[in-house]
Amino acid sequence: PSAMPNLTFQEGAPREHAFLWSEEAIRRGVLVHPYHNWFLSTAHTAEDIELVLEATDAAFRHVASRS
């Protein structure tokens, strides 16, 4: 369901990439599970979502730089 997205990496070392990505997001203040569904809520504000997107974008850049 769209309210329960998750992330998978298709290339390289998928599980290692997922854990590295999750760790980098945590370093930026965002907790996302590396291999299970996430749960969105109407309690999340636009600012919350922006924070998550900024943190996860930076985490993606970090993973890409290590690949």
Q: What is the pLDDT along the chain (67 residues), one digit of tens a residue?
A: 667 888 889 888 999 999 999 999 999 999 999 988 888 888 989 999 999 999 999 999 999 998 7
pLDDT of residue 22: 96
Residue partners of 33: CB distance under 8 A and separation at least 6: 6, 22
Cβ neighbours, 10 Å, residue 52: 19
pTM of structure = 0.84
What the block records as the tokens of 49 is 């979502």
pLDDT at residue 6, rounded to an integer? 83
φ/ψ of 19, rounded to 5, equals -70, -40
